């Protein structure tokens, strides 16, 4: 082998050695896979409650306790907004007058004129709906009767003094408000009524008394009729209702 060939062979061997050394060093520096047991242990949660950070624990301890919301319908009147509603406050009326249909003045309605007040009330100078005192307090065509505004055509009396002709116990009363209308007084009427049996009578109570009287009279009438007479009367009534060719046979 010539000297030139020996140099070339030596160069090749050196280059192979350098390449093998470089590759072996890179192999030693490659990333190694993690141990599966170690990774699994680091991921699995530790039993028991997690420990709070010192700062969060201090804030949680210093935070005030939140009180439960009060019950709107509770038994304590101080926590119940419905308990603050004012109770009825009746406008006084002379004791010798009729004490029906008193005016509740606890929660007056705002108004500009009496025509805007309901319940047959009047609008006062403070723009509040309430009981009337005089006819001018009411709307046009109305008169003041026992704190209420009554259509003038329906006024039969204004006070007890107008009912003296019916006796010392007669009173001036009213029949009641009218529903489904703003003023509620189109059918409101005042009239004199003498008490019967110690009680002031109204048209409604008179109707109830008449019904009881008719029922009692009917029961008395049928109790006085004998069975034979009742049979004859029934036969006669049936014969008068049927045509002459279809008379009811005798019982």
Q: Is residue 168 part of a domain?
A: yes
- Is the pTM here over 0.75, yes or no? no
Show the domain range for 126: 114-197
pLDDT value for 247: 47
Q: Is residue 32 part of a domain?
A: no
Q: Is residue 187 part of a domain?
A: yes
155, 211: one domain: no
Q: Is residue 155 part of a domain?
A: yes
157, 214: one domain: no
pLDDT value for 91: 95
DSSP E strand stretches across the chain: 122-123, 129-130, 142-145, 148-151, 171-174, 190-193, 195-196, 199-200
Q: Is residue 73 part of a domain?
A: no
Q: Is residue 247 part of a domain?
A: no
pLDDT value for 83: 56
Q: Is residue 46 part of a domain?
A: no
Segment holding 210, helix H or strand E:
helix 203-223
Domains in the chain: how many in total?
Answer: 2
184, 132: one domain: yes
Name the DSSP letter for residue 53.
Answer: P
Angstrom distance (rounded) from CA 19 to CA 157: 132
Q: Is residue 71 part of a domain?
A: no
167, 226: one domain: no
Phi-psi region of 223 (alpha: psi -120 to 50; beta: other; left: phi over 0): alpha
> Across-strand partners of 145?
148
Residue 127 three-state SS: coil
> Mean pLDDT of residues grouped by 10 in the chain (251 residues)?
73 76 70 54 54 56 59 53 71 94 94 95 96 96 97 96 93 93 95 74 55 57 65 73 50 48
């Amino acid at each position: 082998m010539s000297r030139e060939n020996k140099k070339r062979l030596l160069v090749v061997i050196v280059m192979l050695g350098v390449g093998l050394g470089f590759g072996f060093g890179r192999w030693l520096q490659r990333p190694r896979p993690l141990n599966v047991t170690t990774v699994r242990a680091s991921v699995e949660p530790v039993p028991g409650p997690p420990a709070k950070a010192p700062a969060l624990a201090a804030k949680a301890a210093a935070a005030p306790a939140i009180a439960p919301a009060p019950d709107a319908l509770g038994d304590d009147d101080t926590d119940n907004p419905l308990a603050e509603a004012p109770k009825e406050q009746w406008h006084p009326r002379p004791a010798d007058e009729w004490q029906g249909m008193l005016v509740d003045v606890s929660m007056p309605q705002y108004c500009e004129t009496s025509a805007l007040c309901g319940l047959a009330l009047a609008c006062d100078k403070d723009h509040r709906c309430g009981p009337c005192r005089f006819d001018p307090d009411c709307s046009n065509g109305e008169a003041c009767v026992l704190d209420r505004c009554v259509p003038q055509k329906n006024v039969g009396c204004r006070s007890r003094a107008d009912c003296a002709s019916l006796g010392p116990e007669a009173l001036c009363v009213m029949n009641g408000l009218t529903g489904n209308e703003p003023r509620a007084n189109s059918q409101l009427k005042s009239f004199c009524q003498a008490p019967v049996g110690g009680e002031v009578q109204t048209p409604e109570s008179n109707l109830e008394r008449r019904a009881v009287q008719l029922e009692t009279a009917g029961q008395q009438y049928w109790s006085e009729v004998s069975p034979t007479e009742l049979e004859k009367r029934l036969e006669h009534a049936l014969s008068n209702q049927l045509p002459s060719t279809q008379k009811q046979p005798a019982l």
